[in-house]
């Protein structure tokens, strides 16, 4: 399935990967880098804009620099980061025109990272 560039996505990733120090220091900018990302299971949700799902290395997304990043190019003027999530760490990708306030609330409750669009 092709994911349109700019599509509103929720990427479910392996929480162990999200807790790697080199990843977490970008995912949790402004927070204690020593505290683990917690949740109810081994997944972690990143809300973002899809950029490229055709790269054989992984899926490229654009996220808020204050909340998410991995391999990145920071555009300091806009506060956005482009990041590659390796396919081996992607558990699911959900594409939707908009994620409901109930979905976003539940994601916040279980400790997700990253909001691109306001509710």
106 three-state secondary structure: helix
Profile the chain (119 residues) by mean pLDDT over runs of 10 residues: 89 92 76 76 90 95 58 50 93 93 79 50
Q: Let me know: does 55 contact 90? Beta carbons within 8 Å.
A: no
Strands ordered across the beta sheet of 8-14:
71-75, 80-86, 58-64, 43-52, 8-14, 90-95
Predicted confidence at residue 96, as pLDDT, reads 93
pLDDT on residue 60:
95
Give the residue from 46, 70, 48 showing the smallest Cα distance to 57: 70
Overall pTM > 0.75: yes
Q: According to the model, what pLDDT value does residue 75 have?
A: 47
Tell me which residue of 36, 65, 60, 40 sits closest to 50, measured CA to CA. Answer: 60
Number of H helices and E strands in the chain, helices first, is 3, 6
What pLDDT sits at residue 68? Answer: 38
CB 50 within 8 A of CB 59: yes
Question: What local confidence, expressed as pLDDT, does residue 50 receive?
Answer: 95
């Amino acid at each position: 399935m092709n994911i349109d560039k700019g599509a509103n996505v929720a990427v479910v990733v392996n929480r162990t990967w999200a807790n790697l120090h080199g990843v977490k220091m970008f995912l949790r900018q402004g927070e204690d880098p020593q505290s683990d990302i917690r949740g109810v299971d081994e997944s972690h949700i990143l809300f973002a804009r899809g950029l490229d799902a055709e790269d054989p290395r992984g899926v490229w997304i654009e996220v808020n620099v204050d909340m998410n990043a991995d391999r990145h190019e920071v555009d300091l003027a806009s506060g956005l980061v482009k990041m590659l999530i390796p396919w081996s760490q992607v558990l699911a990708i959900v594409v939707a025109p908009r994620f409901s306030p109930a979905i976003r609330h539940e994601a916040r409750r279980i400790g997700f990272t990253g909001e691109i669009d306001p509710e």
